[in-house]
Amino acid sequence: MKFCEKCGSYMQGTNSGFVCSKCGHQLKTEIVDVVKIRTQPGVAVDVLDASRLEYNRVSKTCPQCGNMEAFHSLGLVTGEHAGVRQERSMERFTCTKCGHSWND
């Protein structure tokens, strides 16, 4: 959307640029080619999740699949209620087999 520099009216687009519908002022623009790049279908993209490497492996039974090994992480949850700041720790487990996560 373009507006005329002389009268401020809306300019209509043409093949060579823009023309003001009120005063006839013309504004020529450069032609820009838009090219869409197509990707090849079926090309596999490997995604590596390195974030699990920093977690400890512990012996914990998954409640969903029964696997005996899980990743363990310890987090700190902070919040404020009625003007009082509260903090608590939270243990999080993620199954190494099915990826199910749960808190303890």
Q: State the CB neighbour count (10 A cutoff) for residue 96.
A: 17
Instruction: Say yes or no to pLDDT of 81 above 70.
Output: yes
**Spatial separation of the C-alpha atoms in residues 32 and 12, rounded to whole Å:** 18
Which domain range does residue 7 map to?
1-32
Question: Do 26 and 65 reside in the same domain of the chain?
Answer: no
At residue 99, does pLDDT exceed 60? yes
Residue 39 lies in a domain: no
Higher pLDDT, 70 or 29: 70
Task: Say if residues 20 and 9 touch (Cβ distance below 8 Å).
Answer: yes
- The radius of gyration computed from the CA coordinates of the chain, to the nearest angstrom, equals 30
pLDDT band at 74 (very low <50, low <70, confident <90, very high): confident
Same domain, 60 and 99: yes
The verdict on residue 41 lying in a domain is no
Tell me, what CATH number does 75's domain have? Answer: 2.20.25.10
Q: Give the number of domains in the chain.
A: 2
Q: Model confidence over 19-65: pLDDT tens digits?
A: 888 888 888 876 666 677 776 777 776 666 655 556 788 999 999 99
C-alpha 59/C-alpha 23 separation (Å) is 80
